[in-house]
Amino acid sequence: MKRLLPQPLLAAIILALWLILQQSAGLGHLLLGSFIAIGVSLAASAVLPERVEIGKAHKFIQLLAVAGLDIIRSNLAVMMVLFHPRPAPKAGFIEMQLELKNETGLAILAVLLTATPGSAWLEYDRARSTVLIHVFDLVDADEWVKMVKQRYEVLLLEIFP
């Protein structure tokens, strides 16, 4: 079974997305979506360095909720900076030390930080385990680092030990 479905979580997500996009769970869509999901899973196993395993699924759901709220809040904050007259925002760079070593966890953190308006993941130094982040309106770098570590890294460490 592992040879046919090397990335079962990926295949399940692709099948679910296929059925949602088709707006149907008919037998034809289910079969075609399964073939596509299995094909993508087989292709992905050639490029993914390790099998993705989630330690605590409820923490993954919590991470999605926290990130979703942060993205909405950040959208509003960037909108306020752009539309309200005040001194120009102070953009800045932050170099942050990370405890997270799992490649999948690091990739998810990079996506979360880049998807959040006003911040961008720029560079990761594996040797020093540091990440360079650009922030659009940097008020307090220490507070920003604390927020990322407490809101994202702690959850990612529990999800991807």
- In the predicted structure, residue 144 carries a pLDDT above the cut 70: yes
> What is the model's pLDDT at position 52?
64
Average pLDDT for the chain: 84
Q: Which residue has the higher pLDDT, 55 or 30?
A: 30
Which residues, 6+ apart, have CB-to-CB distance to 131 below 8 Å?
A: 95, 96, 98, 109, 110, 121, 122, 123, 124, 125
> What is the model's pLDDT at position 29?
87
- pTM reported for the whole predicted model: 0.70
Sheet of strand 130-135: strand arrangement: 92-97, 130-135, 119-125
> What is the model's pLDDT at position 49?
65
Q: Which residue has the higher pLDDT, 54 or 152?
A: 152
In sequence order, what E strands does the chain have? 92-97, 119-125, 130-135
Please, which pLDDT band fits residue 58 given cuts at 50, 70 and 90? confident
> What is the model's pLDDT at position 132?
92
Show contacts of 89-92: CB within 8 Å, 24+ apart.
89/136, 89/137, 90/137, 90/138, 90/139, 91/134, 91/135, 91/136, 91/137, 91/138, 92/134, 92/135, 92/138, 92/141
Please, which pLDDT band fits residue 25 given cuts at 50, 70 and 90? confident
> What is the model's pLDDT at position 1?
53
116-131 pLDDT per residue, tens: 878 888 999 898 999 9
> What is the model's pLDDT at position 102?
85
> What is the model's pLDDT at position 2?
59
2-19 pLDDT per residue, tens: 567 777 778 888 888 888
Tokens of 133: 């982040």
